[in-house]
Structure 1
Amino acid sequence: MLSAIEAVLYTAGEAGIALGDLATTLGISSAAARQQLDVYAAALAGGDRGLTLRWSDDRVYLVTKPALADTVRRYFAGPPTQGLSQAALEVLAIIAYQQPITRVEIDDVRGVQSAGALTTLASRQLVKEAGRKDAPGRPILYATTPFFLDYFGLTSLSALPPIDSVSAPSDIDLFDQTTEPDWAQGENHDATTN
């Protein structure tokens, strides 16, 4: 049960999860979920772990321990040359092509939470807050920064390759044998003419 709780809290990210939603996800009562969270919190506190639980109203969050704030701050202050994860690159591409865009809209495109990747991209100054959407809750809009253009050697956003010109790997049929590749046609042609 504790590993399931950890997995759900990790996936929930910075949004956390309401106690009732966690209980429903785990298939247990809210009282049992709270009891399991207390056991999990004690396990985190008792060991040499970098995480802890934080409560806000009826929501629970998996967060880094305050004692490690300087270490985490140094990590996020690192140079962008450390590379970007696949998740961060996906989020960055979505923002670049659909900006300004909200985190929820990014999550909808990816099908998973993007909060961690957004934090990384913002800390590396590749994306920024670009206002608020005129919608319920006034969610934050994200856009790329001038540093993004410089980092990728672009003069403007119009220099991005058109999306429809790039074939996704899933669009390529590796087993399509209706046409031969150019090199094969050349060999066949040479064989018949000689």
Structure 2
Amino acid sequence: MEERTGALESLLFIAGDEGMTLEEMAVLLEMTPLEAHNLVLALQKSYEEKEGSGLTVIETRSRYQLATKRRYSELIKKYAVSPFISHLSQAALETLAIIAYKQPITRIEIDEIRGVQSANMLQRLVLRGLVKDLGRAETPGRPIIYGTSDYFMNYFGLKDLEDLPNAEGLFDITDDEMFDLFEQEDFPMNEEE
């Protein structure tokens, strides 16, 4: 069992941000998807039981990957001098919330909801890897359609979009309330381990 767990750990490490599906693991490790799932659960459990381990296994959109434990997030932020970790502005959070709840969505539709031009904010979110181009709309001008990325899902600790906080009345709230959207206690990223 230890040999297979080590093999899975190695595969997840090499897969990086892409992660792996149970089917991919099963093929590479020459086992059934159910056995692969049990192996993932065993690896997750071993990380949870090791006090000194900074790693865990997370699932996002049916893909599994190695990640650091949430309790080390502040340390990771200190280490990373990257714009991916820096705080998002109020306008960026507002734009990101609109995309998260209304995706797939075009820039024009975002502009209509926000009431201001969003091209620069959208470009920053794409550069930070939180938003991605999903293709082009079949409308005049063929505008780009945007949606959230896997990095967005991981950053906010979401398995899928249904894990987002309730959006009822979301687009009628003030800027200050929008800024606090991802600070809500029921948001997965803010849960204590």
Q: TM-score, normalised by structure 1?
A: 0.45
Higher relative contact order at CA 8 Å, sep ≥6: structure 1 or structure 2?
A: 2
Q: TM-score, normalised by structure 2?
A: 0.45
